[in-house]
Amino acid sequence: MNTLPSALHSNLMALSPLILLAGSAVVVMLASAFYRHPRPVMMLTLAGLILSFASLFLFRGIGSRQVTALLVLDHYALFFIGLIVAATFVVAVLCYRYFGGSESRHEALYILLLLAALGGGVLVASSHFASFLLGLELLSISLFALIAYPRFTERPLEAGIKYLILAGFSSGLLLFGMALVYAQLGTMQFAKIGTMLTAPDQALELYGLAGLALIVTGVGFKLALVPFHMWTPDVYEGAPAPITAFIATVSKGAMLALLLRYFLMAGAHQSQPITLALSLVAVTTILVGNLLALLQDNIKRILAYSSIAQLGYLLVGFLAFDPLAIEAVAYFLTAYFVTMLGAFGVVTVLSGGFNNGSEGESHRVAERDSDRLADYAGLFWHRPWLAGVFTAMLLSLAGIPLTMGFIGKFYILTAGVEASLWIPVIVLVVGSTIGLFYYLRIIAVMCAPSSQAITEPTMRPVASPSLGESVTLAALALLLIWLGVFPAQLIDVLEGITVVDLT
């Protein structure tokens, strides 16, 4: 009788980050209903995210917790929940001025951000197909609305419709795949699937393998892996700049963390056909992402194809399937979050954004975001601070030393070499060399002397970044360099992360 309250207390402590995210969404919704003003709503959102992040440290000493059959709260899940919460905090700061500041009515945006972060948190803690689908749909439905939030503007609405079609199709594939796996094994728990498949007389039959392949295909759409990547540049270009940062980081990071847990707990990595298919996907994703980025003159589309290539790099570490692979993926994903948030943060600051008037209609402050390469001509001479931050982010994406991106790629290469993944490793090196060209191309445009202003006549003059934006970008740039020069602090945290021991 005395163990039940203790177990309940431990479960609540373990769930506190997710509970606080859900509670913050409710509080923000009530505050928006009674007091329509974006500033206090944003402050409540940031306070809720800070509390959720702080609650991660309450879990120390409790150990790994299996909360029902649906969720497992361990150091692996908490690390990625912390990453998601921190990224959501950055996006919330970037959204305020972009969507009109105190002169607009965009309170609902923060509710959607909190719900999307909650969906991502559920995803990374999932140990069951039911919670997998619940977290995925909570994240996806929130993203539909976030992408098309300026609903009276053509390009965001078009991007939202494209993402809606994509998500519906990929969810159908995932559900069908889950049904086929359940039909053979009779369970939807990752750990039980792994236990059953390791039995001497048990192996996936044809329709079980087909189910696993469908799950991988559905996840491939969410991660924008080749050949399921065609939606990415269009959605990135059409979505509001800070929301694009959210898609590139939280959406992809949560799904990749879930996929790694599923493969290790369910023993899916022991299937040679699936491993070979993933190797082929990794190679083509790296090459296609980098080669198509060479042809772009739009910053958002360049970053979109770059993110596709970056996910290909992550798959190389993913395919190693050992403790070092988990560390490599976690470090590289952290570096990816920092660089993408910083890069899209600069695009957000330079863009005009939207202003939702009192009648609910979205007015575009500028006809488009500052996403054309020509918009960045001579940026070093006009806005050296923003150009310096953007340069640091691009060099990290290219894997230049003294940045987190270099350490992340080194980790991935080490994991790939130890697992004898020679072809993916060689393609990774080739892809990184190709990527260096279009990253340096952007830097060269920013450094080139230009008498032309950053903005064209159709764009409004670029306002100075707010204090919150300046502090956020400075923190991201400092983190990028600090953990690139002194990576041991993050590596020490990652050494305690494991998935295999949780089953």
Structure tokens at 150: 């300026």
Residue at 27 is within a domain: yes
Distances (CA, A) of 370 to 52, 243, 273, 347, 459: 33, 15, 44, 6, 8
Q: In Å, how far are 42, 80, 234, 328, 412 from 324, measured between CA atoms?
A: 39, 17, 35, 6, 9
50's tokens = 């800070």
Which residue in this structure is represented by tokens 């939202």?
Answer: 160
SS3 6: helix
Q: Domain containing 182: what range? A: 5-356+364-495
Q: What is the pLDDT of residue 420?
A: 79
Counted domains in the chain: 1
| pTM tops 0.85 | yes
Domain assignment of residue 422, yes or no: yes
pLDDT at res. 465: 72
Amino acid occupying residue 20:
L
Rounded Cα distance, 266 and 181, in Å: 11
Residue with tokens 């691009």: 394
- Supply the pLDDT for residue 243: 92
Residue 446 counted as domain residue: yes
- Considering only CA atoms, which of 336, 436, 337, 454 is closest in space to residue 395? 436
Q: Is residue 149 part of a domain?
A: yes
Q: Is the residue at 185 inside a domain?
A: yes
Tokens of 68: 């029902």
CA pair distance 366, 48, nearest whole angstrom: 32
DSSP assignment of 333-398: HHHHHHHHHHHHHHHHHHS--EEE-TTS-EEESSSS-S-BGGGGTTHHHH-HHHHHHHHHHHHHHH
Q: Judge whether 204 and 184 are in contact, CB under 8 Å.
A: yes
Asked whether residue 500 is assigned to any structural domain, the reply reads no
Enumerate residues 6+ apart whose C-beta is below 8 A from 112: 142, 145, 146, 149
Residue 502 lies in a domain: no
Instruction: Give domain status of residue 503, yes or no.
Output: no
- pLDDT (0 to 100) of residue 382: 83
| Successive 10-residue mean pLDDT values, the chain, 503 residues | 60 83 92 82 92 83 72 86 94 87 76 93 89 91 89 82 87 88 81 69 69 84 86 88 92 89 72 79 92 90 92 87 80 93 91 58 58 84 88 92 90 85 90 91 85 42 71 92 88 71 43
Q: Which residues, other chains included, contact 173 with Cβ-Cβ below 8 Å and sequence gap of 6+?
A: 214, 215, 217, 218, 221
Note the Cα 305 to chain centre separation in Å.
Answer: 15
